[in-house]
Amino acid sequence: MRLADKVCVITGGGGGMGRVAALMFAQEGAKVVVAEVSQEAGDGTVQAVTDAGGQASAVETDVSKEDDARAMVQHAIDTYGRIDVLYNNAGIMPAADHSVVDTDVAIWDKVMAVNVRGVFLGCKFAIPRMVEQGSGSIINIASFVALLGCSVPQDAYTSSKGAILSLTRSLAVQFGPNGVRSNAICPGPVETPLLMDWLVKDEEAKRIRLARNPTGRFGKPEEIVNMALYLASDESRWTNGASLVVDGGISVNYF
Ligand SMILES: NC(=O)c1ccc[n+]([C@@H]2O[C@H](COP(=O)([O-])OP(=O)(O)OC[C@H]3O[C@@H](n4cnc5c(N)ncnc54)[C@H](O)[C@@H]3O)[C@@H](O)[C@H]2O)c1
C-alpha cells in the first residue's frame, strides 16, 4: 500500500475533496486525522473510513485559530505517535468575495484567516515535529486561479491562493534539508459543494468555466486527490517546492 502506516492530517476532511482524500488515503494504509470545523462532518468522515475498513480519528479544528491548530497536531501525535503528512485542504470561497472595489474588509479578512493563516498555523505546529522525525510532506491546496486573472473576480480568494504558492516555495527551501518536502496543488474547477453551491445559482459563470476547459467538464475530487496521494507517498521523494496543476488544461487555454 502506498501510504502504509503514514499518519496523515487532512484539514477540511469533513466534506468535498477532504472527505474523498480521507477515504482514498485510508485505503492506501494511512492513519488519517480528520481536522474539521464541523464536528458532525468530521465524525461522518471517520465513520465512512472505518466502515470501509480504514483507520481515522476526528479532531474538531478551526484552522484559522492558533489553539485549534496546535491541538490538531497534538491529536495526531497522541493518537498515532507521529505526523507524516499535513494536507492543508480546508478553504473557503464566500459568495460576497468579488472585485477589490466591491468586497468588504470583513470578507477579505475572513478568507485570509482561513485560507492563508490556516496553512501558516498548521505548518507552524507540524513542521517542527517533522523536522524532529527527519521526514514529512506538506501538501498545500491552492487553485488554478492563483495562476490566472479572472473576469469574474474573487480577489480575496485569488490572493489567498497566490500566497499559498509563495509560502510553499519558501517552506520547500527552508525545510527540504531536514527531509520535509512542501508542495502545492492547483486544482481547476472540481465538482464539490464549494463550487457547485455557487455555480448552480450562476448559470453564466458555469457556462464560461465549462467553455474554457479543453476537457469540457469539471474535475472529480478523486482526480485531485490522486495527485495528493503521490505527494503524500514516498514516490514523490524528490518533488519539493512544486506547484502542480491539475485542471484539465483550463489554465493553458488562450481562446
Ligand atoms: N472545488 C473546486 O473547484 C476547487 C478548485 C480549486 C481549489 N479548491 C480548493 O480545494 C480545497 C477543498 O475544496 P472543496 O471544494 O472540497 O471545499 P468544500 O467546501 O466542499 O469542503 C471544504 C471543507 O473544509 C471545511 N472547512 C471550512 N472552513 C474550515 C476551517 N476554518 N477549519 C477547518 N475546516 C474548515 C468545511 O466544513 C468543509 O468540510 C479548498 O482549499 C478549495 O479552495 C477547490
The H or E element that residue 136 is part of is strand 136-141
Type of residue found at 200? V
Chain centre to alpha carbon of residue 15: 12
Query: Residue 224: its pLDDT value, please?
Result: 98
DSSP annotation of 190: B
Catalytic residue among 80, 157, 230, 254: 157
Task: Return the CATH number of 7-245, one of 3.40.50.300, 1.20.1370.20, 3.30.470.20, 3.40.50.720.
Answer: 3.40.50.720
Query: Residue 209: its pLDDT value, please?
Result: 81
- To the query of whether residue 157 is one of the catalytic residues in this protein, the response is yes
Cell representation of residue 237: 521523494
Give the residue extent of every domain in the chain: 7-245
CB-CB contact of 145 with 158 (8 Å) = yes
73-93 core/surface letters (b: 16 or more CB in 10 A; e: else): bebbeeebebbbbbbbbbbbb
Query: Residue 181: its pLDDT value, please?
Result: 98
Q: How many CA atoms lie within 13 A of 111 on its CB side?
A: 24
Q: How far apart are CA 70 and CA 157, in angstroms?
A: 25
Ligand 1 center from residue 163 Cα (angstroms): 16
CB-CB contact of 156 with 104 (8 Å) = no
Query: Residue 237: its pLDDT value, please?
Result: 98
Q: Between vectors from CA 124 to CA 96 and to CA 134, what angle results, nearest 5°? A: 135
Which residues have CB under 6 Å of ligand 1?
A: 11-12, 14-18, 36-38, 41, 61-64, 89-93, 114, 118, 141, 143, 187, 189-190, 192-195
Type of residue found at 189? P
Over residues 110-149, the pLDDT tens digits come to: 999 999 999 999 999 999 999 999 999 999 999 999 999 9
Q: Which residue has the cell 499559498?
A: 164
Query: Residue 246: its pLDDT value, please?
Result: 98
Helix (H, G, I), strand (E, B) or coil at 47: helix
pLDDT under 50 in the chain at which residues? none
Type of residue found at 216? G
pTM, two decimal places: 0.98
